[in-house]
Amino acid sequence: MKSQPIVKLSNALKPYAWGSHTLLSDFEGRPPASHPEAERWMGTHPAAPSRVSPEQTLQEHRRAQGHPTGELPWLLKVLAARQPLSLQAHPNEAQAREGYAREQAQGLALDAPTRSYKDPHAKPELIVALSEFSALCGFLQTDAMIARLSDSGVDAIDGPLRDARTMPEPEALAFLLRTWITGPVEPRRDALIRFVSRNEARLRAQTPWIFAVISSFEGDPTALIALMLHHVTLSPGEGLYLEAGVMHAYLGGLGVELMGPSDNVLRGGLTPKHVDPEELQKVLRFEPSRVQPLTASGSDARAAWRTPGAPFELAQTRVKGKGAWDEGPTDEIVLCTEGSVRLGELTLRRGESAYLAQGSGPREVWGEGCVMRASGSIG
């Protein structure tokens, strides 16, 4: 079959309830949507494969071009969050294989609402902000967490904090999470309500974002877990790299997300979807995190966000007029995030994407804009 080095993609939309009516449509130059739009998927994941034509998926196209399976080892998304996503973490490769095999043996359908492992793959992920983007990410140090929550006047909170002071850090983190994420709902809900009522002034001064979390999931006692985590606000161009086992929750904004080719999400709360606190605790890394937003390093021709050990790389190319195209390390999906950029005979406008076969990309690029470039890692 004749090689097609550059093909424009048609990509599936995920209308999750936490999505926005305007963020994604504005980005893609469309009128506001009548329903929430949460994610635009770009890749070969079977749950929402990209297409190169109405008759052919990207995976089928790649297979026809000589790739044995046609699969890409990563998945690119545009994520548009109007309200907080669930408290969650993702498994590593070994945990994903074991969990997937276990649920397969149990006869759980892949689309069963109680299923936690949708595939046997890990899901490290990088999120890069296109707008101001807020998130919770990684455990605070125990001392900082205790300072944030202690002397609340609520025995169900102050008591476990006193016990945690006597424990080594990993044990203390695991103990507090287990205490506040499991057990009867009503006592935990009552503790959260009394905690917020008695400490409103302190919370509004120190952690005002918690009120958006609580109001989005009124009555969900796992909102207390959010106060165990770092809060970070990303400016456009800044990113967060989340390895397996790191607790996190995106709170709001528009971003580009690159991840392993997986849909494995272990949720602990703040969601109407299936939660699996026991499985979540098995995959969590009970250690404090150092949260440092990432910026791309390199030149206008190619600047990348560093993600050590990930099976992918996210880079960007800024185009001003006419210039040489710096080819990526593997096949790429290219997403236009600003302006308009011409690659060979194909023009991409903001929100549009294309697949580029490695070794046969354009020699030159024209336009005024920026593209983000997802590819496999070479190191």
Q: Are residues 150 and 101 in the same domain?
A: yes
Q: Are residues 119 and 224 in the same domain?
A: yes
Average pLDDT of the residues in 247-257: 97
Kindly state whether residue 103 falls inside one of the protein's structural domains. yes
pLDDT in tens, 99-123: 999 999 999 999 999 999 999 999 9
Q: Are residues 104 and 240 in the same domain?
A: yes
Residue 20 CA to residue 127 CA, distance in Å, equals 17
Instruction: Provide the pLDDT for residue 3.
Output: 57
Residues with Cβ within 8 Å of 237's Cβ and at least 6 positions away in sequence, in order, are 128, 129, 295, 296
Instruction: Provide the pLDDT for residue 5.
Output: 76
Instruction: Provide the pLDDT for residue 323.
Output: 86
The answer to whether the predicted template modeling score (pTM) of the entire model surpasses 0.75 is yes
**Which residue from 134, 130, 132 is spatially nearest to 337, judged by alpha carbons?**
130
Instruction: Provide the pLDDT for residue 4.
Output: 67
The CA distances from residue 101 to 74, 92, 119, 249, 276, in Å, are: 21, 14, 9, 27, 17
**Higher confidence at residue 43 or residue 5?**
43
Helix (H) or strand (E) holding 158: helix 155-164
b or e along 218-250 (b: 16 or more beta carbons within 10 Å of the residue's beta carbon)?
A: eebbbbbbbbbbbbbebeebbbbbbbbbbbbbb
Q: Are residues 126 and 212 in the same domain?
A: yes
Residue 153 CA to residue 57 CA, distance in Å, equals 58
CATH of the domain at 343: 2.60.120.10
Kindly state whether residue 61 falls inside one of the protein's structural domains. no
Instruction: Provide the pLDDT for residue 358.
Output: 84
Instruction: Provide the pLDDT for residue 75.
Output: 95
Q: Which amino acid is at 13?
A: L
Mean pLDDT (the chain) is 93
Instruction: Provide the pLDDT for residue 155.
Output: 94
Q: Are residues 163 and 226 in the same domain?
A: yes
Instruction: Classify residue 33 by burial, with Cβ atoms within 10 Å: 0-12, 13-18, 19+.
Output: middle
Structural tokens at position 301? 């021709």
Pairing mode, if any, of strands 303-305 and 239-242? unpaired
Given a contact cutoff of 8 angstroms between Cβ atoms, the answer to whether 262 and 218 are in contact is: no
Domain boundary among 226, 261, 295: 295
Average pLDDT of the residues in 188-200: 94
Structural tokens at position 290? 């150092």
Percent of the chain scoring above 70 in pLDDT? 98
Q: Are residues 231 and 250 in the same domain?
A: yes
Instruction: Provide the pLDDT for residue 58.
Output: 97
Percent of the chain scoring above 90 in pLDDT? 85
Chain center to CA of 112: 22
Is the pLDDT at 52 greater than 90, yes or no? yes
Domain boundary among 270, 295, 320: 295
Domain count, the chain: 2
Q: Are residues 256 and 166 in the same domain?
A: yes
Given a contact cutoff of 8 angstroms between Cβ atoms, the answer to whether 364 and 322 are in contact is: yes
Residue 233 CA to residue 338 CA, distance in Å, equals 21
Instruction: Provide the pLDDT for residue 326.
Output: 85
Domain boundary among 264, 295, 326: 295
Residue 50 CA to residue 44 CA, distance in Å, equals 6
Kindly state whether residue 333 falls inside one of the protein's structural domains. yes
Q: How would you classify residue 29: left for phi > 0, otherwise alpha for psi between -120 and 50, otherwise beta? A: left
Q: How confident is the model at residue 361 (pLDDT cuts 50, 70, 90)?
A: low
Q: Which amino acid is at 129?
A: A
**Higher confidence at residue 131 or residue 47?**
131
Residue 259 CA to residue 75 CA, distance in Å, equals 5
Instruction: Provide the pLDDT for residue 379.
Output: 42
**Which residue from 196, 173, 131 is spatially nearest to 284, judged by alpha carbons?**
173
Structural tokens at position 367? 């336009």
Is the pLDDT at 2 greater than 90, yes or no? no
Average pLDDT of the residues in 291-300: 93
Instruction: Provide the pLDDT for residue 1.
Output: 43
pLDDT in tens, 168-193: 999 999 999 999 999 899 999 999 99
Is the pLDDT at 293 greater than 90, yes or no? yes
Query: For residue 255, what are the domain limits?
Result: 84-295
Residue 278 CA to residue 292 CA, distance in Å, equals 29
Is the pLDDT at 363 greater than 80, yes or no? no
